[in-house]
């Protein structure tokens, strides 16, 4: 028997859908500090979506004019909290699709007394495509995104040509895109996407592979090293004068 219902085409996303329920402690922290730390955008159909007309306003959110650094896939906030504590003259936006990780980030920010951190539940793609103003970001960081190691799942990898082009759009001249992965073929994919983008150039004097001096070594990274994987950092700069 045929059905007259229209076929719904599901959007391919770079993250798996997981339970986003918070523990009692983290729900309390989310509720208590929501107004200070959580950015609430306009939404469309999904809980991680952004309404087409919504654009992040860092000056309004942070209450000052300062260089903006965004970490996409911030997890529990280990890296972004360390960076914010070390660089109080910059503002940091932690972007993550899983509320438990952002709740832990809020707890960490509150414990450390950090006023230069905010969190946003959002899919990175619409954020870069239309949720940020052009040339508004000083640094964009993606550390250890899901590698989707099976070949049939590579289409779900976050960092591809489209992602890099969108990243270049929001980076200000001399802004830096910093990527890190412990999967060799994903590192090569990242490198190709960045080198194919005419707006970007290697940030380390013509060398693609960068060090990790400006980020902490996370628990995930230590696990990868223990399993024998090699860590690759890539840093690309937005070419000056290209706008």
Contacts 24+ apart (CB under 8 A), 37-40: 37/105, 37/106, 37/109, 37/110, 37/117, 37/118, 37/119, 38/102, 38/106, 38/118, 38/119, 38/120, 38/121, 39/93, 39/118, 39/119, 39/120
Task: Determine if residue 150 is labeled as part of a ligand binding site.
Answer: yes
Task: Determine if residue 221 is labeled as part of a ligand binding site.
Answer: yes
Among this protein's residues, is 57 annotated catalytic? no
Task: Determine if residue 208 is labeled as part of a ligand binding site.
Answer: no
Task: Determine if residue 233 is labeled as part of a ligand binding site.
Answer: no
Give strand pairing partners of 92: 69, 117
Active-site annotation holder among 31, 57, 89, 146: 146
- The C-alpha atoms of residue 98 and residue 104 are separated, in whole angstroms, by 11
Which three-class secondary structure state does DSSP give residue 110?
Answer: helix
**Residues near 240 by beta carbon (within 8 Å), at least 6 away in sequence:** 173, 174
Which three-class secondary structure state does DSSP give residue 175?
Answer: strand
Task: Determine if residue 105 is labeled as part of a ligand binding site.
Answer: no
Task: Determine if residue 218 is labeled as part of a ligand binding site.
Answer: yes
Name the residues annotated as catalytic.
146
Binding site: what residues are annotated? 71, 96, 123, 146, 150, 182, 218-221
Binding site for substrate: what residues are annotated? 150, 182, 218-221
């Amino acid at each position: 028997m045929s059905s007259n219902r229209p076929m719904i085409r599901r959007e391919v996303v770079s993250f798996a859908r997981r339970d986003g329920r918070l523990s009692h402690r983290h729900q309390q922290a989310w509720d208590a500090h929501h107004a200070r730390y959580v950015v609430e955008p306009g939404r469309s159909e999904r809980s991680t979506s952004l309404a087409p007309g919504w654009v992040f306003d860092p000056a309004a959110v942070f209450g000052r004019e300062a260089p903006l650094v965004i970490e996409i896939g911030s997890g529990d906030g280990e890296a972004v909290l360390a960076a914010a504590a070390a660089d109080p003259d910059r503002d940091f936006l932690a972007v993550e699709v899983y509320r438990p990780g952002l709740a832990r980030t809020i707890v960490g920010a509150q414990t450390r007394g950090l006023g230069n951190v905010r969190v946003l539940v959002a899919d990175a793609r619409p954020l870069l495509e239309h949720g940020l103003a052009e040339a508004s970001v000083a640094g964009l960081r993606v550390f250890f995104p899901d590698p989707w190691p099976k070949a049939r799942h590579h289409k779900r990898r976050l960092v591809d040509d489209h992602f890099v082009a969108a990243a270049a759009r929001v980076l200000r001249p001399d802004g830096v895109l910093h990527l890190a992965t412990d999967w060799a073929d994903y590192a090569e994919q990242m490198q190709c996407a960045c080198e194919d983008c005419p707006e970007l150039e290697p940030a380390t004097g013509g060398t693609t592979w960068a060090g990790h001096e400006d980020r902490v070594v996370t628990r995930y990274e230590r696990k990868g090293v223990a399993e024998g994987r090699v860590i690759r950092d890539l840093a690309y700069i937005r070419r000056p004068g290209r706008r």
